[in-house]
Each structure stands twice: as C-alpha cells, then as structure tokens.
Amino acid sequence: MSSDSGQEQLSYEDAMRVLGYEPGAIVSPHLPIFRKVASKLEALVKTTKDEHLRESFRDELNRLNEALRVVVAERAREPSLRGQGMRLRLVLALLVVAILVSAAWYGNRRIEEGGYLRDREGIAKLEAMARLAVESRDWSGAEEVYAELNKLIPDSARVREGLARVVDGRAEARRQKLGFLVGSIRAAVEGRSWEEAERLLGDLREMEVSHSEIGSFIKVIQAGRVSDRIAGLLEQAEEALKEEQWVALGDYAAKLEAIAPGHKQLTRFKTATEQGMKVLEERRVRARELYEKALALDKGEFSDPALETLREAIRLDNQKDYQDLYNKMSAYTRLLKVPGDYSTITEALAAARSNDKIRLGEGVFNEPLSLNVKVDLEGAGIGKSIIQCEAEKASVLLSTKQASGSRVAALTLRQTGISLAAERYPVALADGGELVLEDCLIEGGAGHGVAVINGGSARLRSVEVLKCGWDGLAVNGDGSVADAVGCRFDSNFHHGIDAWGGGRVTVKSSRATRNGLAGAVLMSRGVRSELVQCTIDRNREVGISISNGTTAVLRSNRVEENLLGGVMVEGEGTTAGMEGNVAERNRKFGIMVDRRSVVQPFRDNETKDNVGEQLMLKAVMPEEVVPPPPVLDVSGGKSLEPGPEIPK
C-alpha cells in the first residue's frame, strides 16, 4: 500500500497508461511537464469551494503522483531513445492531461459562479430583512441580520453603515422612552396618582439611575403624599367634629400633629377635643345618675318612666350593667316574639295588648305596619331587622292616636319601588298620637321620611333619615310636634327638616346635610321652633330658612358650605333669636335678615369665609313664596292644605 494515498501500488504498465503511454515508451524527458500538471491540480484542490469536486481533484492528483513515482522508479525499463513516434506520443499524453485539467478548472469555475450567484441572492434577501427590521424599529432583529450579512461580506461598508443605524436607533428609542416616562410621571403627579407616579419612577430608575429629574420627582411625590394625607385628616377631623365623635377627633388631631405640627387647624381641633372629652365625661356621670334612678324605680313591675330613664342612660353611655337592667325591667311586661310566637309582625300587633313588647329577630319583614295600640316594637339592630313595603301602597309604619306612646327601636324602615304620584306615603307617619323612634334607619321613601300630622308628635333619638323623595322630617298641622336629638337627615330630595302650617320642631345635636333643597325650613306662623347645637351643611339651597311669621331660636349651630347661603330670615312678623352660631364657607352669603323681620337677641354669632356678603341685617327680600309638597292625611284619605315655603 502507498504510504501517501492508501491506494494499491500501480504496476509499471498501469502507471504508463495513467500518463497516456504504452509500456516501453520513453517518458523521462517529459517528466518536468507532468510535475507542472501535478502542481496545477494541487492548486485546484486548495482553491475549489465544492467539497465533492475537491475530493475528485485530490484523487486525480494522487493517481498522477503515484504514476510518476512508479515510472521514475522503473526508468531502467525504458528502451533506448528513438525519435520515431516519441513526439506524437508526448503530444497525445499532454493532450489527455490538458483536457483533464481544463475540465477540472471549468467545473470549479462553474461551481464558484453558482455559489456567487447564490451568495448575491442571499445578500439581497438579508439586506431587505435588515431594512424592514430598521423601519419597524426592531433593533435586536436588525442586529442579528447584519451579523449574518457580515459572514457573507465581512467588514463591508454596508454592514458597518447598517450597524451604525442600529446603534443610533437604539439610542433614539431610549431617548424617546425616557421622554415618555418623564411625561407620564408628570401627568401622574398632576393627577395626584402617587402610586402610579412611583411605579413609573421605578421604571425610570431602571433605565437611567442617574437621570437628572429623579431627585425632584421623589421630592414632589413625597410632598404630594403628605399634602393629601393632611387633606384627608382635615376632612376626617371636620366630619368627626360635626358628628361630635370626640375620641375620633382626638385621634385625627394627633395624626395631623405628627406630620404637620404647625398646622393652623390643630389648635381648633385640640380645643374641640378637650371640650368634647369633658362632654363625654359629663355624659358618663349623667348616665350613672340615670341608672341609679332607674334602679331605685325597679319595683318588679312594668314602669314606662323607669324604662325611659334607662334608655336615656344607655344612649349617653352604653354599659353592660345598664343594658342588663333594661332587659330585666323590659321582661316585666308581656313579650311577643317574631318569629317564634308569631310568624308576622301584623299577627303580633293584632294579638298585642297595651304596653306589650314585640321583639323582632333578624330578617326582612315585607309588611306595612299599623299601630293601633301602645306597644314597644324593638328589632335586633339597624340592618339586622328590616321592615319594608312598596312605596305605592302604604307607609311602612303608621302610628295612630290610639297607639300614642308607642316606641319603635333598633331596626330599619324602608320603602321599595318608586312612586311619582302627587300624594305619596311617608315611610313613618305619626298621625294624631305620640310615636317614639330610637336607633332607627329610615331610607328610600318616595315621600317624606318621617311625617307628623293632625296634632301628632314624634320623638326621634339617634335616627338617620336618608335618601327620601321629599323631606327627611316633615311636621305639619296645628299642634304637630317633633323633637329630635342626635339625628341625621342626609341626602333627601327636598329639605332635611321642614315645619309649616302650624308644625313645630325642636332639634338638638343633629345634622342636616347634602339635602336637595334647604337643610332646615321653619315657617309655621306664630309657632316657636328651635335648632340647638346642630350642623347644617352642604345643602343645595340655604342652610336654614326662617320665614312666614314664625319664631325661631338658633343656638350654637354650625352652618357651613351650603350652596345658596347660610342662614336666611325673611318676611314680615318673622322673629329669630340667634346666639353663638357660626356661618362659614357658604356661597352667596353668611347670614341674611330681611329688613321686615326681627332678630333679637343677636349675639356671639360669627360669619367668615363666605362667598359674597358675610352679614346683612337689613336686606330687601322678595315676597313670593311657593308651596311645599303635600302630606297624605291617612285618616281623611286626602292631602292636607299645603302651606307656604321658602322663596325661590
């Protein structure tokens, strides 16, 4: 075997045939020419790009070299030099070799040309892909395409220019994203969306930790959060002050002092808290006195005065021993349970005797109630015991003269559906007798929330009247009276409190807020009504309207942020006594008094920060009035004569 090619060793005869000679021919003079041919084949092996052709050239080169080696080794077998025919044989041999080499060269050239064409097509395709990636701002994709191009056309100007565009594009995209982030942070800051601003600021930090605006954004966001926190605490503190929630007010004041120790409202809140805590302590002392009084009245038999005394003690300071005594003394009368003894409240009322107690369990009772005997109707709590009926059919609760003295407590009364009739049923109606409402929620009425007519009376303690279609509390007719303490009249479509046509109200420590018209309207000619320590705020007309020759006493009320003014006194013969009231931040005016009306006494009242006039004691007022909505006279089946209302 040949050590070079690994092929079988050629015989002398085969070697001569490879060179194109017959055995016995003279070859030696032509060997240099054959070596040049071998050199060219060797060059083709090194330069051709086609792998199969390269192997073919290599095989031919090995055969030629092996043939030359054998012929040189067997040179002694050559005959003596003879000129006849030698040149012809040489020409033929060279022609064979030339044809072989030329064919190899031509084949290699065609392969190279085919590869070149394929490379050109690939380059054009890659360049198109690169342009598309750049136009679509896909910088990573463009970078990958240019890397492939660089393999085909290394270090070309086109590749360098393309990569430069990618670098510039990345830089521009980064600048744009930074600009977008900065703009988005500013928008979030302007919208006071601090969480969104902080999230975007985190993205900005990730992109460029040393960005020049990061520090200023941090300061603005921190200051904004503090500002919003202060605003929130101020709003909560104001609400606690209006609701006389002294413990909560003290907590808000402490939090405000922690973040804004020099705030101008702190002194007012602290002072109010101190005064409020004194009031709470006085209430606790008073509650204990009432408890001791009720304890002394406990003779083992039913006693209305003892129970009322205990209820007042519980309202002032709800202690377990007060509640235990109340439950014990309540059990002295007959107890009817619904459900349990009766499946409906109506059945229990039909079976009840005077002074019986009806106790409701938790649940929704779909039935209108008519009280015709004095009873104590007590639920499981607001939102737990709910009595409701359709607004078009009846009042949820009607208390007649025969049921005078009845008490309804610890439940929710509401109407369902909508009624747009000219006459509408109130949710709770006291018709000619006394009705006591305690710890109740009255809501969703088509007409008034609580109405008192025909000389009836209503005592409201800790009652909320919300979102009724007319007034929250309406008192109409000679001798009709309502006494409300610790109540709230909120978001009713007409007035919060309304007394006209002979009706009278005494309202203490209560709030009329966000009602569609006035907070309180007092207009019963020659009848005295009182508002004491109330908050009348955020109503869409005036806070308090006093007119039509009525007599009103206003003491220590806060009248704030009402849309058409604070306190208005108008009409000939109208009289008002005003002491210690504050009218602030109202639109139009603070306190306005008609020159035909009398305000006496008028002392220690304060008007501030109202839009328009702060105080007008001799104003010229219009005389036109419009009637209020009617109240359904259930006993007569017709509406009462409407009285005058505030001027528009």
Phi-psi region of 637 (alpha: psi -120 to 50; beta: other; left: phi over 0): left
Q: What is the DSSP letter of 483?
A: E
Read off φ and ψ for residue 317, nearest 5 degrees.
-160, 100
> Averaged over 29-41, what is the pLDDT?
76
Residues in Cβ contact with 81 at an 8 Å cutoff, skipping those fewer than 6 apart: 26
Tell me the C-alpha to C-alpha distance, in Å, between residue 489 and each of 448, 464, 538, 542. 11, 6, 12, 15
E strands present in 367-480: 369-371, 375-378, 385-390, 397-399, 406-416, 428-431, 434-443, 450-453, 457-461, 464-466, 473-476
Give yes or no for a contact between 54 and 46, defined as CB atoms under 8 angstroms apart. Answer: no
Rounded mean pLDDT, 28-37? 76
Tens of pLDDT, residue by residue over 223-254, are: 999 999 999 999 999 889 888 888 999 999 99
Contact present, 606 and 582 (Cβ < 8 Å):
yes
Please report, rounded to a whole number, the percentage of residues in the chain having pLDDT higher than 70. 87
Residue 610: C-alpha distances to residues 514, 516, 582, 587, 613 (Å): 18, 20, 11, 6, 7
Cβ atoms of residues 591 and 616 within 8 Å: yes
Q: Which CATH number fits domain 333-639: 3.40.50.300, 3.40.50.720, 2.160.20.10, 3.40.190.10?
A: 2.160.20.10
Better pLDDT: 263 or 164:
263
Pairing of strands 567-569, 575-579: unpaired
* Residue 263 token pair: 């705030």
Residue 74, CA distances (Å) to 25, 28, 67, 411, 467 in order: 12, 10, 11, 131, 127
The pLDDT tens digits of the residues spanning 491-529 come to 999 999 999 999 999 999 999 999 999 999 999 999 999
Helix (H) or strand (E) run with residue 225 in it: helix 214-242
Q: Which residue has the tokens 């929630």?
A: 245
Instruction: Give the mean pLDDT of the chain.
Output: 85
Residue with the bigger pLDDT between 318 and 4: it is 318
Q: With CA atoms as reference, report the closest residue to 523 among 550, 497, 489, 543.
A: 550
Query: Strands 406-416 and 335-338: what pairing?
Result: unpaired
In Å, what is the CA distance from 185 to each residue of 172, 177, 191, 195?
20, 12, 10, 10
Degrees (nearest 5) of the Cα angle 642, 647, 648? 110
pLDDT at 8 over 70: no
User: Quick check: 495 and 518 in contact, CB under 8 A?
Assistant: yes
Phi, then psi, of 171 in degrees rounded to 5: -65, -40
Which range (165-179, 505-519, 617-631) has the least confidence?
A: 617-631
Confidence tier at 7 by pLDDT (50, 70, 90): low
The pLDDT of 580-607, averaged and rounded, is 95
Q: How far are the Cα atoms of 2, 67, 507, 560, 585 from residue 8, in angstroms, in the given order?
A: 7, 12, 128, 119, 118
Sequence letter at residue 273: T
Query: Is the separation of the CB atoms in 371 and 346 below 8 Å?
Result: no
Residue type, 85: G
List the structure tokens of 621.
Answer: 């007022």
pLDDT value at residue 50: 65
- The answer to whether the beta carbons of residues 241 and 249 sit under 8 Å apart is yes
Residue type, 463: V
Model confidence at 98, pLDDT cuts 50, 70, 90, reads low
The values of phi and psi at residue 269, to 5°, are -65, -40
Output 385 or 104, whichever has higher pLDDT.
385
pLDDT of residue 83: 45
pLDDT the model gives residue 441: 98
User: Residue 89 has what pLDDT?
Assistant: 53
The pTM assigned to this predicted structure is 0.67
CA-CA distance, 248 to 246, in Å (whole number)?
5
User: Distance (Å, rounded) from C-alpha 622 to C-alpha 619?
Assistant: 10
pLDDT at 97: 53
Distances (CA, A) of 240 to 235, 398, 530, 595: 9, 34, 23, 37
In Å, the largest CA–CA distance within the chain is 166
**DSSP label at residue 642:** P
pLDDT recorded at residue 633: 54
Any idea which of 49-53, 556-560, 596-600 has the lowest mean pLDDT?
49-53
3-state secondary structure 84-104: CCHHHHHHHHHHHHHHHHHHH
According to the model, what pLDDT value does residue 334 have? 87
Q: What is the pLDDT of residues 124-151, one digit of tens each?
A: 777 788 778 777 778 788 778 878 777 7
